Amino acid sequence: MKTAGIIGGGGYIGSYVTQQFLENGYRVKVSATDISNKEKYAHLSSLTNAANMELASLDVQNIDQLKAFAAGCDILVHGGTPFQLDVEDPQRDLFDPTIKGTENFLQVVSETPSVKKVVFIASVAAYNTNFPLPPEGLADGQVFSENDKPYFSEENHPYAQAKFLANEAVNRFIAGHPDLGFEITTVSPVGVMGMAMSAREDSTSMGIQFLFKNKIAPNPFIQMFYDRDVNWAVVDVADVGASVYQAATRQNLHGKNYLITSESYRVSDISLMLNGKEPAGQPCTVYSNALATRDLGVHFKPAKTPLHQYAEAMEGAAAG
């Protein structure tokens, strides 16, 4: 039985990744930032083959803990960087754990002989820090693919900058190590939607859906979404989990970074669908999923699927 280590494997996306590996017969090691918080990871115990899963304490900035976590793993998935839009100190809360954590992880992996495949869960921000707006120079609604030049601006949100710079660190590592004994592949999801497996209330992705559903703007950044009625690119969280699994288990994908995306709708239509209603407008393609569909074999569900799933779950919770 092969072992997959999943950093962030109990989180919003990570739980779906953990599920994929368990269902496909892997032993799974899931990182825990606070292993004593059993409620935080309780949902994982109900997954198929949960007996083949273990929790391991890990701080991604701690080299010794990273070494212990990576030991014996055939596959490593790094999805443990913070997803926070409101932070007190961007350097401390975003840049250090995201960029330095990625650099530490790469150093450890290069010294771990058991590892044959590494997958990074990045973000559309690795291609465009201006998300959800198009990169400078591209018209609203123009299709963006992996062939386009990545866009970075220090004027953009610190979270987006951190994800872009972490991806640059991965690219530098690959360029500087042409004879690695393992493959590195990256997946870059757009706006991830759908229900979380856990009942945690601190999920940023679940929080964004709540904001869009109720048209709440806690800060100017979110208010801009409504003011401009921006095109929001959507992907189902379950499809992200499937994409990570395929990227981890297929060969000859070294150095690739895949946009993981379905359709785009205006935020006003996203709000309608999160309330169980039909959109007023039609979907469009802002980010292309052609490469991911071809290489990973994932057929992405329509945006309505995760949005209506969220609406039904919230309706059920209110009725209950």
For residue 277, which amino acid is it? Answer: K
pLDDT in tens, the chain (320 residues): 899 999 999 999 999 999 999 999 999 999 998 888 888 899 999 999 999 999 999 988 889 999 999 999 999 999 866 555 556 666 666 777 788 889 889 999 999 999 999 999 999 999 999 999 999 888 777 899 999 999 999 999 888 988 999 999 999 999 999 999 999 999 999 999 999 998 877 777 899 999 999 999 998 989 999 999 999 999 999 999 999 999 999 999 999 999 999 999 999 999 999 999 999 999 999 999 999 999 999 999 999 999 999 999 998 877 76
In the chain the domains, ranked by start, together with CATH numbers, are 3-193+236-261+287-301 (3.40.50.720)
pTM of the model: 0.94
Strand partners, 236: 193
Q: What are phi and psi of 125, to 5 degrees?
A: -65, -20
SS3 44: helix
Answer for the pair 54, 4: CB distance below 8 angstroms, yes or no: no
DSSP letters for 156-185: S-HHHHHHHHHHHHHHHHHHH-TT-SSEEE
